[in-house]
């Protein structure tokens, strides 16, 4: 089956990484797949190497020329499925259902929905998001829930890992905390920095150090906050990393301090995949996919004191850490494995292309 996948993002973050690994998984299953990305974006580069790809201007959501370019590409390729990601790509894609081409809009957030209603079907990556679509009047029979699968674990060469430890001056008794995500308000990094400032430099004989894996508009504010609370020497600002495997391999514990608005949180899945104990806030996505004390240690959102106490609880309890790792592995295999998720996409595409008029 031929499918065309359109995304209009300028930068690469969690959603874009999902886009890449999903298309590679489709390709690995023998699907005829083509990516359509924004010209000059970070996706319009080597990150999609090996995948058939077209770059279009995708200028603005209202641009008639961009819409025309998308329509002409779809007519030329004539795929069975066109799947769009987020607002820009969806708004620029308009397909007559009589063409036999099915337009599926995949949502990974609680967006304003006016620009999505013209699609033929919708995928939400959480049940809560699907409920949101149905409450907004989208037809229940055309709204489908499919989770993300975790990024495949890549084994890191021990020498490369040693080199990274040396470059970061990580000592044998350091306990390395990792938080990953764009430096934007919803990710809640400021609450984690506040929490770290409430803790001593060492717990249970181990020096606490935090790696912030990400970039974005709040980065300079976060650095200033770290200086203000006196923890700047305990924080490693790693920036955005296309290859996160060495950082997860190096981490002792993953912290995900997102706010209530977070939809799913791919970092949760990545922590489970890399078998790292997870401390996460109890945002709406975490409440759906995680279980406190079984596969994650969950604390309230926007609460630095609770984050600090969660860190105390985990750092000092090796048995609890092992319990959460085992639970995370089980949850991942049960609900978020690549074979399970891709089987759902295979079934959905077959259903949409054989269900008759939309």
pLDDT in tens, 119-150: 999 999 999 999 999 999 999 999 999 999 98
**What is the spatial distance between Cα 106 and Cα 145, in angstroms, rounded to a whole number?**
10
User: Any idea what DSSP says for residue 180?
Assistant: E
Distance, C-alpha 154 to centroid of its chain: 17
What's CA 197's distance to the chain center, in Å? 27
pLDDT per position as a tens digit, 16-72: 999 999 999 999 999 999 999 999 999 998 899 999 999 999 999 889 999 999 999
CA neighbor of 84 nearest in space, from 174, 17, 9, 151: 9
81 touches 353 (CB < 8 A)? yes
Looking only at the bridges linking them, the beta strands covering 2-7 and 32-38 are parallel
User: How many Å apart are CA 213 and CA 43, to the nearest integer?
Assistant: 19
**Which fold does the domain 2-149+337-354 belong to in CATH?**
Rossmann fold (3.40.50)
* Contacts (Cβ under 8 Å, ≥6 apart) of 287: none
Average pLDDT of the residues in 332-350: 95
- Residue listed under structure tokens 């996460």: 280
DSSP run (H or E) holding 160 = helix 158-168
158-335 fold? Rossmann fold (3.40.50)
Asked whether this chain's domains 2-149+337-354 and 158-335 adopt the same fold, the reply is yes
What pTM did the predictor assign? 0.89
From the number of C-beta atoms within 10 Å of its C-beta (0-12, 13-18, 19+), residue 189 rates as buried
Gap between the Cα atoms of 180 and 215, Å rounded: 9
Cα–Cα distance, 237 to 235 (Å, whole number): 6
Domain boundaries defined on the chain: 2-149+337-354, 158-335
pLDDT digits (tens, 9 = 90+) for 73-119: 999 999 999 999 999 999 999 999 889 999 999 999 999 999 999 99
Residue 106's DSSP bridge partners are 85, 123
């Amino acid at each position: 089956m031929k499918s065309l996948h359109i995304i209009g993002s300028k930068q690469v973050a969690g959603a874009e990484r999902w886009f890449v690994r999903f298309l590679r998984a489709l390709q690995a299953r023998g699907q005829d797949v083509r990516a359509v990305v924004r010209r000059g974006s970070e996706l319009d580069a080597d990150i999609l190497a090996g995948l058939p790809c077209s770059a279009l201007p995708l200028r603005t959501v209202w641009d008639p020329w961009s819409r025309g370019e998308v329509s002409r590409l779809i007519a030329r390729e004539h795929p069975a499925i066109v799947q769009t990601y987020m607002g820009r790509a969806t708004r620029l894609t308009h397909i007559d259902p009589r063409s036999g081409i099915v337009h599926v809009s995949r949502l990974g957030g609680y967006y304003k929905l006016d620009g999505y209603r013209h699609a033929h079907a919708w995928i939400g990556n959480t049940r809560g998001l699907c409920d949101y679509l149905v409450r907004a009047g989208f037809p229940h029979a055309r709204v489908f829930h499919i989770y993300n699968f975790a990024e495949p674990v890549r084994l890191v060469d021990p020498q490369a890992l040693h080199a990274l430890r040396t470059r970061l001056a990580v000592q044998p008794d350091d306990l390395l905390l990792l938080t990953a995500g764009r430096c934007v308000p919803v990710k809640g990094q400021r609450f984690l920095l506040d929490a770290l400032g409430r803790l001593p430099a060492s717990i249970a004989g181990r020096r606490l150090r935090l790696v912030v894996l990400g970039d974005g508009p709040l980065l300079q504010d976060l650095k200033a906050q770290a200086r203000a609370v006196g923890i700047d020497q305990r924080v490693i600002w790693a920036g955005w990393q296309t290859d996160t495997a060495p950082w997860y391999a190096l981490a002792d514990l993953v912290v995900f301090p997102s706010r209530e608005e977070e939809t799913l949180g791919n970092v949760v899945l990545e922590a489970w995949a890399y078998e790292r104990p997870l401390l996460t806030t109890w945002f709406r996505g975490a409440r759906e996919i995680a279980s406190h004390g079984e596969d994650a240690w969950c604390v309230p959102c926007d609460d630095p004191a609770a984050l600090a106490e969660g860190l105390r609880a985990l750092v000092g309890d090796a048995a609890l850490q092992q319990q959460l790792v085992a639970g995370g592995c089980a949850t991942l295999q049960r609900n978020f494995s690549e074979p399970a998720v891709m089987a759902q996409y295979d079934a959905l595409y077959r259903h949409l292309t054989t269900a008759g008029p939309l």
